[in-house]
Structure 1
Amino acid sequence: MDAKLSLLIVGAAIFALTHHCSAELFGACAADGECTGAGGDANAVCDTGADVDGNCVCASAYKDFGGDCVAKGLGDNCADTSDCAGVSNAECSGTTCACAANFRNDGGSCVCDGQYKMDGVNCVSKGLGDNCADTAECAGVSNAECSGTTCACAANFRNDGGSCVCDGQYKMDGVNCVSKGLGDNCADTADCAGVSNAECSGTTCACAANFRNDGGSCVCDGQYKMDGVNCVSKGLGDTCTANSDCAGVSNAECIGSTCACAGNYRNDGGSCVCDGQYKLDGVNCVSRALGDSCSADGHCAGVTHANCNTNCVCEGQYKVDGAACASKGLNDTCTDDAHCAGVSNAECDTTCQCISGYTASGSLCDSGVSILPSMLLFVCTFAITVFMN
């Protein structure tokens, strides 16, 4: 036997032996080992369900790819999730391998979806401080948004241990944070900033001093008016509805609908001072009296027949009589005849005296002619006439 023939016999024997011990895909087989040995595929199994001899096919988690068994990928057919084990975090959805919940297909791999991040082997919702590209990626935290490239609490909310809660000056209204109003709880005045001119009084938002609650807004109380951002006392000339509205000015009252000085007072640069003929007596304006200072005759009008000579004094023909001015009488001092006009037939001679031909008779000036001789002449004449008849 020559050498060539010997080689042919040996080759045939080897082929027969290997063909009997292992089989290629779709080749006949009787057991799995015949599909995984030399010349077979480590991921093949012997499928005996199709016929008696059986055939080598890829295991359920694998598929035929050019005669080789390769792991199934996303989109391949499956019967259960174990068929998709070749892709981490994939599952059998219906009859197709797909990424599990919270994962997405990224070039055949399952990576965490936008709003999730990898936590070991699981995808968990992103939290405050995690990276983001848009607000949807921060959806795992209520009331969060993507600020720049980071998940953060939206406007009016603050981070409270990883959750977004209403900031101090806001309160929850359904799903939104709205400004706190009068009557809401507070810890400091900043919590009440949603209402102008409000402050935290105790633990409740209330209007600040000089303001009052008008339908949820703080407006100036009756006796005050708005001056820029502050309530200041109303002054003379400001509108009013009651005397109390004018309380910022002493001795003012509401006259008509305007703050004005009360009776006996006048406006002196925004203050109410006693009018000319009056003086302040404690808290009231009273008429000036004799001896009170003055600068015009009108200031002494409270005393009849008085005029001003630095102080209120009686006019020339009058003299002080208690708190009043009375006409001068005989023997009162004078400097002019007019000062004695209160006594008929009197003149001034340092003091008021009766003029020549008149004599003082009590408080009057008498002519000095006696009536007794006239009466005697009348009686005698009457008697003679009667006798002669």
Structure 2
Amino acid sequence: MGHALIDLFVAPSPGELGDECTLDDHCSGINHTLCRSGFCQCQRGYKRSMGKCPMKLIDEDCEDDVDCKVPGSHCDPSSKTCSCDLGRMSNVNHNYCIWRKVQDKCVLHEDCNASMKNSFCSSDYNICSCVIGNIPSVDLAKCHPHDDIGDIVKTVLYIVAISVLIITNIFLVMMFTKILRNLETQRDFYDHSKVGSQCTSNIDCYAAITNSHCHNASCDCNLGHYDDHNGTQCIRRVLNDTCTEATDCNSVIPEAICNDEDLCDCPLAYEWTEYWDACRKRVIGSFCQEDEECFSAVEFSHCDNRTSECDCTEAFMPNGNNTICLVRPTMPPFVQIPPDRGPTCNPNSSTDDCASYNDSRCLTIGLQSYCVCQPGYGRRSSQDPCVRVISYEASIVLNRINRKYDVGNLTFEDDLHDVTSKQFQELATRLELNGIATSLLSSDMRMTYIESHVMSFDPFLPWGIRVNAVINFEFNETALLHNINQTQSVFESFLSGSQGELGNSGMYVPESYTDHLLIEDLDECNSSRWMTLHNCDVEAVCLNFVGTFSCICHLEYKDISSNVIYPGRSCKARTVPSILLNLEYTFRSASCTNGVCETPWGMVLGALGSIFGLLFIMLVIEVVYRTREMSRIIDRTVLKCVLREEKVKLRRKTILSQKRRKENRGMKKSVSFTASTKVSGSVDALASIEGSAIIIIKYKLNVAYVNFLTETPDTNNSTGQGIDNLALDITDEILQAKDTPGEKRSSSSTEGGVDNLAIDITDET
């Protein structure tokens, strides 16, 4: 999988002319072709012929100068044909534009003067000729000023004669005359010497004709030269001149040959020089049209049809002077760290496959689903438990990638938009493990680093990709010290030491790392990503904080989350006062424009007024309740005071009754049994019955009173006194029953009832 991404940059199989295509590389099977309108076609300046694209020649159709590839040519706007530039003319094969020479055909004076100074186009013969006072050079490529030998000699002799006139006037005159005669004779001979003229020695020829010699008693041009058809000059051959054998060419042009068209030419391994006077061996970077022209000169080379230059094949590289293709060293092989995704799961299962893994959920990554940690949690490996994390977001630009032999440009593919595609998963794994993890594990943050996740890829122009990733650190005191700026510094320091390589991923960040790498807080509440980064309930609000997030249930919902440390994970509907709902609606209605939120203060003040009104009503109710309660307390206090006073009076009466009992002991015996017996039963009933005890005692007292009247037929005085004694006895019995130790007493309310009973009995009596 390490070289999977490199395959993205390998060109498809080459096509032929007329084949369908989408890229220029699809047409690399034929030189000088491009992909136009979905088909492989010849480039401009080349024509289709015999399944190939040879270069357009002189006098062939063109639209502009781009269509004319012959050196020194242009597109004639009037005739719309490729023509040679001013001062040049086409060779026999119409594939080169050579400079005009003396005696070459012409039409205008500029045709000659542009290539040779002091020349013009003769109207008689329409050929280039030198102006008067100039003569052509040996190779007919220039017109030199003419030097008259006789004039020079005369001038020299005249000067000499003047200088020695006084001493040897007669001698100088004789010598001068003799010299003139010899010069005239020699000049007459030379002026009549031509190629083919009779001769006896080489001097008879080359004295008059440069580059000539005497051969078989006649003047002939040297090897590699030819006469100018007038026999007056021997012109040195250049490339593209006519020939009959190889020596006609290579005698003056090393390595030249006489081709099948009887023209001097360079072998395939050589190229023409600028002035066509030499053959130079091709090197890497030389102009070419066919692959044979390159690999015949440099082994393991070919002709690059995009640049029309010789270049080494993919597995080779040129040496320092571009004369040899050396074996190209390969880049270190990329080794992918195997991903540890954890146990697989079925997201459509009726049971939770991840229930046995704490704080886990089932998430689909690519084409497979795995048990991963809940949002806000992470783990280093599938064997480790999920721990709480601090999360940052990283935006990293990558523009180069290691290929087999070199580092090439990284281009964005459309498949990287699809998180389920193979390209996305392979590149994401490469960056998560070999890139981000390797960079952080080699720093001081290795103890708190947990994991990273690539969220998306975006294109970066002119070439490259932008990686958007989440980086998780363990939530502890050490991690809290690693702020965003420190994380940014760690990445920049690593990139500076690795020449821009992110970890050991074989992918590179452009220079000026600060502009192409950004670490910032992760907004877990942003729902635009393919993977949800928070687990708030649908009825809760997600709140983003630096490094983490929190959740809060809506006011009309109750938080029933299992862990109070992480609220808002589970919300249940509840009934709340309408005023609170209105308050929540008020704050939710705040509008935000350009990042500035404006609160509707009218609605806020209305809600606050409603709250204060409710509080005032509750305060009034509380005051009324407190007033009534205080009145009851006062009434109870007064009643207790009255009862205590009555109790004191009753005890006084008891003491008085004891004294009277001694005086009336006889009468007490007659009624004590009946009264005391019944009253004792009443006292026992009083211990268990509080509300109805008084009524029962009063009833039994009346019975005792009736019995007393029927059994004691005394006088009125004795009867009244007996009744008083009976009341005192009953009261005394009640008080004794109340104060008897060991008896089961009732509450304080029962004691109060006994006191009241005693008072009532006394009153009844």
The answer to which structure has the higher helix fraction is: 2
Q: Same fold (TM over 0.5)?
A: no
The answer to which structure has the higher strand fraction is: 1
Task: Using structure 2 for the length normalisation, give the TM-score.
Answer: 0.18
Task: Using structure 1 for the length normalisation, give the TM-score.
Answer: 0.30
